[in-house]
Copies of this chain bind each other. A is one copy, B any other.
Amino acid sequence: MAASTKPLILSILKEGKSYGYLIIQKVKDLSGGILEWSDGMLYPVLHRLEKEGYIESEWMISENGRRRKYYSITEQGKLELIAEKEDWLSVQAVLAKLWGILPTE
């Protein structure tokens, strides 16, 4: 389910700028190793989100001389995240009912 990439990426970037490789690590980390994204899957999504204006990028050189493309969320991206969150929680609420579990807050 790669449909979850959008809210996940936007949510991560809302916490501060990050770059492709680190985002993959972060997702793996937060999920306890369950979610393992490939780079070939992520980069096209980042490019698309940038093209759509939800995130923006800037090249930077890290301490060790490695080049990285840092992404940050835009104002438009923050609005989009709010909409994505609403959508997600709507579905989540229905599934929670069907599965007999508590809805999130």
> Which B residues lie within 8 Å of A24 (CB)?
none
- Interface residue from B2, B4, B14, B94 paired with A30 (Cβ < 8 Å): B94
Q: How many copies does the complex hold?
A: 2
Measured CB to CB, the closest approach of chain B to A49, in angstroms, equals: 15
Measured CB to CB, the closest approach of chain B to A52, in angstroms, equals: 16
Q: Is the CB of B87 within 8 A of A96?
A: no
Q: Is the CB of A99 within 8 A of B87?
A: no
Given the contacts A34-B90, A92-B92, A93-B31, A11 and B85 also touching, CB distance less than 8 Å: no
Q: Which residue of B lies closest to A103 (CB)?
A: B104
> Which B residues lie within 8 Å of A27 (CB)?
94
Given the contacts A1-B3, A101-B105, A104-B104, A88 and B95 also touching, CB distance less than 8 Å: yes
- 6 CB < 8 A contacts A-B: A1-B87, A4-B91, A8-B98, A35-B90, A35-B94, A102-B105
